[in-house]
Structure 1
Amino acid sequence: MAGIRINTGSGIDPKMVDQLVEIEREPIKQVEARKKTIVDEQKLFSDLKGLVSTLGSTLNGMRTKADFYKLKLTSSHPDIIEGTVDNNAPIGSYELEVRHLARSHKLLTQSFEDKDKTAVGFGYMTIEKEDGESFDVDIDPDRSTLNDVATQINSMDKGVKAIVINTKEGIEDSDEENYRLLVLSEKSGKEAKVTIDPDTTYLEFKEQITGRNLEMLFEDVKVYNETNKVTELFPGMVLDAKKAEPGTKVNIKIDYDVDKSLENVKKFVESYNKVNEFIEKQFQVDPNTNKAGVLSKDNSLRTLRRTLQSAIQFSLPTGKYQTLADVGISTDPKTGNLKYDETKAKQALSEDYVGVSKLFIQSDETVGIGIRMSDSVRNLQSQQSGVLPSKDREYKHILENFDKDIAVKNRYAKQKEESIRHQFAVVEQLISGMNAQGQVLQQRLGGMG
């Protein structure tokens, strides 16, 4: 009798179960793909927001006179005196003469053969400053070398400094030793005088340098200062006296810093163009795919472009320089970018700094481009009504919905997977049972042969 062929297993390919489970996950993959598209859009939009933020920061330096104006101080003799100015300094040229530099009061002791072995006394000495403040320096007999006394004075932090100096006087004068203690006021000026009563010490102090104030002539008027840095002559200017040159007239000129101002103008043009180029790229159609950028259908880009283009269209009612084009900034009709002619811009600022500044800042007569565009950017960034935060919220809402949808579909797919695997397990058990019965039947039929 011909044998009966019976499977020894279920015969079900395990890969088929995995394939069915994968089919059930297909809707999740579709949602995840749409989510990735939105995430990519959101990243691009975030890049655009960064460019707009940079433009806004640049415009903040062009809103008002205090923002836009840049001044500089030049000295005819910077080796004698130089300085710095801020926007509060008065424009003009001024004549100075440095007669005496300020210097600190200095006292010097007699010489000693060493700095760290010989005792210079014990007990205390009194140090008195010109303002009436005095303090005692206690000298321990066991710690009374020049180094010890200097350390003790410096540790008290009273505005008086002590230094042990090695003069090597002994090589010139056999009657002198090499080491001396130099005590000096940490402040300069006539009022920084220091008086020392050595009392029970062996120290003898003599005046090495008398404290003195800075003395200058400013426009033939005598001016004094406790230090060589003058900060209060008039608002907005700091002078730094380097050396005294009696009889030498120094001319200092405070004027507009055209080059510094041009740096801000150039930054504005560059940051504006980066925003414009980003937007323009989104609207360009790729010849290979015949598609525009992923943000090309986003109305917020069109709103942003219109807002910036509207703000840039501005002119002054009077004056030689009435438009940006007059000062070297023109618009490319093909790309919308700003073209910058630095030579023309420098010439315009050099000729009429105040007039050109009115194109950008808010003045008594007009509201310039700087503040107009700055306010426009701030409106776009407004959390309450701005286009950019609104778009951010839209992206956030869409992605949250995607996440919820993916979570629901994941739960459903998990349930379907469990159901499919359970059903195939049941089928496999049935087939395995049938195979076992077939084997028994085969054995019996074989025995009958």
Structure 2
Amino acid sequence: MASSIVSDLGIGSGLNITNIVKVLVESDTAAKTAQLARQSSYNTAYISGVGALRSALTAFTTAMGKLNDKAAPSFNAFAATSASDSVVKATAGNTAVAGSYAIEVKNLATSSKVASQAFSGGASESIPPGDLIIEQGGKTYKVTVGDDATLQTVRDQINKELGTSGFSANIITGEDGARLVLGSATTGAGSDISVSGITKLEIDGTKSMKTEGAGYITEAAKDAVVLIDGLEVKSASNTIQDAVSGISLELNGASVAGVATKVTVAANNDGLKTSVQAFVDAYNTLQKAVTALTKTSTDEDGNLVLGSLTNDPTTRSLLSDVRGVMSEMGGGDRLTTLSQLGINTQKDGTLEFNSTKFTSAMNDKKLGNEVQALFTGTNGIFERMNKAIEPYNATDGSLATRKANLDKVAKSLADQQAALDRRTESLTEALTKKYVALDTALGKMKAQADQITSIFEALNAQAKKS
């Protein structure tokens, strides 16, 4: 650079070489420098805006996903409460009926747990090769036991090959030796495990280990038995669906003999209101984020300031599609629009939730059992909203494509800036060398002039003496 070649002021000329070179270089590169700075600023703002928009869309779809969780429905018209969740937990759906029920759990559904004969050699007991056949509920599973197998390797092989089918195996060692113990996640009568194919490991799961040497450990698998308002219900599972219309019962423990647990079903207006408010809040958060990215304002000097995505056609299209979903008619019998629930669009695009109108829709018009279908049903708001957003926010959607293109532009601008920096450095060095050479030449000329002047002065002095 110039500062490393020569001091600011030329020795021979007294000119400020550094300043002269700087002015000349800037006059050559100023237009390109300004252009790159302007383009980089715009491009960076676009990248930031697209990233913020994608984050807002992801947050919105995540919020809808939580409200649309099938395992924990958020728009049930009814709610069920149990006097003792440790005995029975109840969940009500839209087809439930308000009322109360007496639930007595006589016994839970159990799974089969069986043990082989005892092996005095422990876990390292040798097991002959062959096909081990495990049967349960009419299904057959085969485990091929190879040479040099032991009780322990058979256990490990069963867990590896049948673990995904709900089986688990272990070895329990007691006073009489080690036993291969098999269990299953499947419950209910008739799900007893039987093992055949290798004589030393044969088990009849319908017989007791205590009398047969191999068999079930405590008891055979059995169904759950429940009294609902005095009526007996049997179930192979500890989750009973629709024994009471619209209600799921999760059995957690046996009742004290003769003591029923009260399950109450009532309208879930407060829960529905909370869920609807959560949707409104999530939508408004998205709307405010888009507004912030697209709005125009003025700075303190009165200059117009544009948002990072102001006038962006992709964002306008997205906003139009999202708002279109909000104005579409649903497919319900009586509840077809959000306005019926007190939800209306305001001037700024956000939603207003009128709780008084919502309460009227629940209590007076009895629309509670249609709210779920409006939001989470087939072609409901959530499904249509996800379809509207997907083309934009998918990993290969238009916003991802836009981001990739903007990144390419950013790299191109960076490359151009690097090239300009190299040109600036090269031009600065070249001009500095020229001006240094000029200064050197001027210095020599000045020295020569000074020498000539000295000669004439000496001649004049000598002439005066003579």
TM-score category by the smaller chain? 0.5 to 0.7
Does residue 1:353 correspond to 2:368, yes or no? yes
Counterpart pick for 1:330 among 311, 325, 344: 344
Residue in structure 1 matching 2:85, options 68, 78, 85: 78
Cα deviation for residue 73 of structure 1 reads 7.8
1:358–1:73: structure 2 CA closer, same or farther, 3 Å change rule?
closer
Is 1:209–2:189 an aligned residue pair?
Answer: no
1:327 Cα deviation after fit: 1.2
Cα displacement (A) at 1:331: 2.8
2:438 corresponds to? 427
Equivalent pair of 1:97/1:247 in contact (CA under 8 Å): yes
CA distance 1:420–1:362, change in 2 (3 Å):
same
Residue 15 of structure 1 corresponds to 18
Q: By how many angstroms is 1:399 displaced?
A: 5.2
Q: In structure 2, do the counterparts of structure 1 residues 308 and 28 end up closer, same or farther at CA, with 3 Å as the change threshold?
A: same
User: Residue 288 of structure 1: SS of its match in structure 2?
Assistant: coil
Question: 2:39 and 2:181 mapped to 1: Cα distance?
Answer: 74
Q: CA deviation at 1:325?
A: 3.2
1-side partners of 2:401 and 2:171: how far apart? Answer: 66
Mapped partners of 1:154, 1:379: distance in 2: 50
Q: Which moved more, 1:407-416 or 1:16-25?
A: 407-416
1:201-238 residue CA offsets vs partner (Å, 9 max, x unmatched): xxxx846733442341476455353x75679999x998
Matches within 5 A, 1:125-274: 161-163=170-172, 186-187=183-184, 192=192, 206=210, 209-217=218-226, 220=231, 223=234, 225=236, 240-245=250-255, 247-249=258-260, 265-274=276-285
Q: In 2, are the aligned partners of 1:316 and 1:323 still within 8 Å (CA)?
A: yes
Q: Does structure 2 conserve the Cα–Cα contact (< 8 Å) formed by 1:283 and 1:292?
A: no
After superposition, what is the alpha-carbon deviation per residue over 1:172-211, rounded to whole angstroms, capped at 9, x for unaligned? Answer: xxxxxx999898653477765899x99xxxxxx8467334
Q: Is the 8 A contact 2:156 2:169 kept in 1?
A: no
Tell me the amino acid that sits aligned with residue 297 of structure 2.
V
Q: Find the aligned partners of 2:177 and 2:95 in 1 and give their Cα distance.
A: 49
Query: CA–CA distance in 1 between the matches of 2:74 and 2:303?
Result: 46
Instruction: List per-residue Cα deviations over 1:71-121 (Å, max 9, x = no partner).
Output: 588464432233679x8x9746987643334376688x9xxxxxxxxx9xx
Matched, 1:29 2:33: yes
How far the C-alpha of 1:34 sits from its partner, in A, is 0.6
Structure-to-structure mapping, 1:80-99, within 5 angstroms: 80-82=87-89, 91=96, 97-99=104-106
Partner in structure 2 of residue 201 of structure 1: none
Provide Cα deviations, 1:30-65, integer angstroms capped at 9, x if missing partner: 123312430343145215522552376269659999
Work out the CA distance in 2 between the residues paired with 1:243 and 1:318.
Answer: 40
Q: Is 2:372 the partner of 1:339?
A: no
Q: Is the alpha carbon distance of 1:439 and 1:54 closer, same or farther for their aligned partners in structure 2, counting shifts above 3 Å?
A: same
- SS state at 2:89 partner: strand
Aligned partner of 1:139 in structure 2 is none
Distance 1:291 1:272, change over 3 A: farther
Structure 2: how far apart are the matches of 1:422 and 1:378?
Answer: 61
- Select 1:313's aligned residue among 323, 327, 331: 327
Contact 2:111/2:192, CA 8 A, preserved across alignment: no
Structure 2, unmatched stretches of 5+, are 1-9, 128-132, 144-150, 160-167, 201-208, 212-216
Look up the equivalent residue of 1:45 and give its one-letter code: G
**Mean CA deviation greater in 399-408 or 323-332:** 399-408
Q: Report the 3-state secondary structure (helix = DSSP H, G, I; strand = E; otherwise coil) of the residue aligned with 1:244.
A: coil
- SS of equivalent to 1:339: strand
User: Are the equivalent residues in 1 in contact too, given 2:329–2:337 (CA < 8 A)?
Assistant: yes
- What amino acid is the match of 1:337? T
1:3 corresponds to = none
Q: Is the 8 A contact 2:103 2:227 kept in 1?
A: yes
Specify the alignment match of 2:297 in structure 1: 285
Task: From the superposition, tell whether residues 447 and 288 of structure 1 become closer, same or farther in structure 2 (CA, over 3 Å).
Answer: closer
Q: Secondary structure at the match of 2:297?
A: coil
Q: Which amino acid aligns with 1:24?
A: D
Q: CA deviation at 1:15?
A: 2.5
The number of aligned residues is 404
Q: Secondary structure at the match of 2:86?
A: coil
Classify 1:153/1:84 alpha carbon distance in 2 versus 1 (closer, same or farther; 3 Å): farther
Q: What is the CA distance between 1:427 and its match in structure 2?
A: 0.4
8 Å contact 1:64–1:362 — kept in the other structure?
no
Identity %: 15
In structure 1, distance between residues paired with 2:381 and 2:135: 57
Q: Which runs of no fewer than 5 residues in structure 1 stay unpaired?
A: 1-6, 110-118, 136-148, 166-177, 199-204
| CA distance 1:413–1:64, change in 2 (3 Å) | same
Q: Structure 1: how far apart are the matches of 2:59 and 2:169?
A: 52
CA contact (8 A) 2:47 2:406 kept: no
Pair 393,75 (structure 1): closer, same or farther in 2 beyond 3 Å: closer
Would you say the 8 A contact 2:342–2:357 is kept in 1? yes
Q: Which residue of 2 aligns with 1:113?
A: none
Query: CA 1:418 to 1:284, structure 2 compared with 1: closer, same or farther past 3 Å?
Result: closer
Superposition CA RMSD, Å? 6.2
Instruction: Describe the shift of the 1:355–1:306 C-alpha distance in structure 2 as closer, same or farther (beyond 3 A).
Output: same
